[in-house]
Structure formats: structure tokens, C-alpha cells
Amino acid sequence: MHLHAAWRWVVLLLAAAPLAYYVFSTIAAWRFFRRERARNLPEFAPPVSILKAVRGVDFATHENYSSFCRQNYPNYEIIFAVNDADDPAAAQVRRVIREFPYREIRLLVGADNLGANRKVNKLARMTSEARHEFLILADGDVCVGPNFLREVVAPFTSGNTGAVTSFYAGIAENNLGAQLEAIGAASDFFAGVLMADWMEGMHFALGASIATTKMWIGKIGGFAPFADMLADDYELGRRIAEAGGEVLLSREIVWTMYPAQTLHSFWEHQLRWARTVRLCRPLSYFGLIFTHGLPWTVLAFFVAPNRWLGAAYVAAYLVLRLGMAWTVGVWGVHDETVRRKPWLIPLRDAVNFVVWLASLFGNSIIWGGVEYTIDRGRMTPMSPVKSVQSKTESSISH
């Protein structure tokens, strides 16, 4: 009986860990956004090359590409790169070139095969052909505001700044899978990012947008050393930090698209992300068990010695979890899905726990229609990937 009672209190103590995590994550978000929004950034606007490795289209591709052409910035170029000339994204790039003839825009097709990560291959080629020292790496599904370039470049007045990376608010189609993904990023993933920034500083970058320079890319040996890595954004930030560069979070929020998904595609995407964490950062992955508040709360409810204590755990989960989601996702990142549909948060937490359990097993992922096996973060395609001869299809220069 005494042993049973001891285990009950051990479970209750462990179930309090996610609740404490919610509190500290809320504080981390409040500290960061309050400080950054009060900061006056210096005027600094050197010439910039925007590098966009793109593939396929979604419901907002044209607006996403166009947003980079409307920057309140004096001198910049945009380089797009696709794997294949017949990729639908190439047609959208040509349309943008026609609509913004005063912008310096190039479309590159193909890249040298440095490794299994075709995005990194394209980034390497674009970097070699970029005309300017300052580089902005932005995903194809990212949309930005007119002051984006000024915001992410300004911190480089500090000579120690190696990379500046941005949070992203989700624009989700009216689809449950898309909305759950948007809520997961804005209300949970970013909380972990802010905790990492508070406790130890940033040693990684977020893939939606990364500002850096050719100098720092050179210091880490270019893109070739991690051209086989699945988590290329994480690797880029980690290697810059190890080389002595400071990785900073920007207060400038960008937007990323979450298109409608089938149940199967939603599951594959979530499983790919979870396995990426496990296979690239195993310690961080297993530590996530102490951030899963919903399963711990359910367990605490059933083992609590009385119903009042069990109900207190449920109430604490709802108040603290929703409080963290609002502070990070709504007040911090301005995510509309979190603001409009907070009741989806417990459902997302339940799904996320199931995904976490499933990702314990297996070392393969599906990305871009190709299946890869992962070994210590490096990808090996299970079937040959078609190579494409590199060329510059379109160019406008002034």
C-alpha cells in the first residue's frame, strides 16, 4: 500500500513538469517580445540577395513571391531556383518577373548534386551566383511584409551576428490538418524556441527565413558538409553558432502557408517532423515527454487520491496551456488560427502525443515524393533521384 501511494505521488509530481514548462514558456515569450518591440534598430541597408529554393505551388504562391518584390529597401536581387524546368513554381516565377520588371529577378534551373537534400543543393548554387554579400534564405511558401529586409538585416551592424531567423505565423486553409499544423507551430514549437533562446541562447535557425552572409557561409565550409542532412535549417544555425557567430531571433514575423491536407499526408508530414527531431537531436526528442501536458494531466486525473486534486490538474492544464498559446501564438506571433480556434489546442496536443509515440520507431521519411532512410541526421534516398542539368532560364538585370 505504501509503495502504491509513493508511485501515485511520483506520477503527480511528474505531471506537474509540463505545467511548469507552460509557465516558464509564457514568461520567455513575454520577455522576448516586450524587449524586442521596444528596441530601436539601427538604419542599415546594404545590398541583399534573396535566395528562394522553390518546388510546387500552393493556394498563395503568387502572393508569396510578390511580397518579396514589394520591399521598402533600396537595393536587392531575388534568385529563385527549381529542380526542374517544368515545375509549376517556375511558371509562377516567370509571372512575377513580368509583373515586376523593375526588380532584379533570376530563375535558376537545377544544381550540382552535392547531397541528398535537393534544397541545399539549390541554395549552394544560388549562393555562388548571388551578387551581394548579405543573403536571405526564404522558403517558397513564405510571405513577408514590406519592412522585412530592413528588420532582418539591421542586427548585422554587430560584427558578431552570424544569422538572424524569423518566427512564422500560419495562414491555414479551411482544413483540420492544416489548422492543427498551424496551431502546433505557433502555440507549442515556438514556445520551445523561446525557452531555448532564454536559457542558453540560439544555436539553431528556423527554416522559413534565415539572414546570413557569404562570409559566415564560408566559415562553415559552405553548404556541401550538410548537403545530406535532413534538418538543413537547424544545421546551418548550429554550424554558424559553433563557428562563433551569434544566432538571433528577429521580432519581424513572416507568414507561411498551410494548405489543405488529406489524413494520410497530414500524418506523413507530422511523422517526418517528429522523426527529424529524434534522428537529429535524440536528447531533445526524449526530453519532449515532459512537455506533453495532456497525457500527463489525464494520468494525474486517474491516479489522484481525490477528485478535487484530479480536477485541479485538469484546470491547471487548460489555464496554463491556453495561456501559453495565447501569449506565444496570439500576442507574440499574431497567428490567426490560434486566435480564432483555441479549442483545437487540446486536440492538437492529443494528436501530437500519438505522433511522438509513433516516431519512436523507424528511420525513414518521405519528402518531396521520395523515401529516404536517415542515419545520424543524414539522408540516403531509397531510389535514385533524377538529376537535372543546371542552367539559368531567365534573367533581368539593371
- The pLDDT tens digits for 205-223 are 998 999 999 999 999 999 9
CA separation for the pair 258, 349 (Å, rounded) = 18
Q: Does residue 364 surpass a pLDDT of 80?
A: no
Q: Residue 208's closest CA among 161, 159, 255? A: 255
> pLDDT value at position 385?
53
Q: How confident is the model at residue 397 (pLDDT cuts 50, 70, 90)?
A: very low
| 177 against 285, higher pLDDT | 177
Question: Among 9-13, 309-313, 387-391, whose mean pLDDT is lowest?
Answer: 387-391
What does the block give as the cell for 99?
Answer: 509583373
Q: Does residue 389 surpass a pLDDT of 70?
A: no
Contact 78, 106 (CB under 8 A): yes
Query: What is the DSSP code string of 201-243?
Result: -B-S--TTEEEEEHHHHHHTT-SGGGTTBS-HHHHHHHHHHHT
pLDDT in tens, 226-266: 999 888 999 999 999 999 999 999 999 999 999 999 998 99
Distance of CA 19 to the CA centre of its chain: 24
Q: How confident is the model at residue 295 (pLDDT cuts 50, 70, 90)?
A: very high
Q: Does residue 7 surpass a pLDDT of 90?
A: no
94-122: burial string, b at 16+ Cβ within 10 Å, e else: eebbeebeebbbbbbbbbeebbbbbbbbb
Question: What is the average pLDDT across 373-389?
Answer: 66
Q: How confident is the model at residue 1 (pLDDT cuts 50, 70, 90)?
A: very low
> pLDDT value at position 366?
72
pTM of the model: 0.90
> pLDDT value at position 379?
73
pLDDT in tens, 303-333: 999 999 999 999 999 999 999 999 999 999 9
Q: Does residue 298 surpass a pLDDT of 60?
A: yes
Q: Does residue 375 surpass a pLDDT of 50?
A: yes
Q: Is 312 buried (19+), middle (13-18) or exposed (0-12) by CB count in 10 A? A: middle
Three-state secondary structure call for residue 38: helix
CA separation for the pair 29, 335 (Å, rounded) = 14
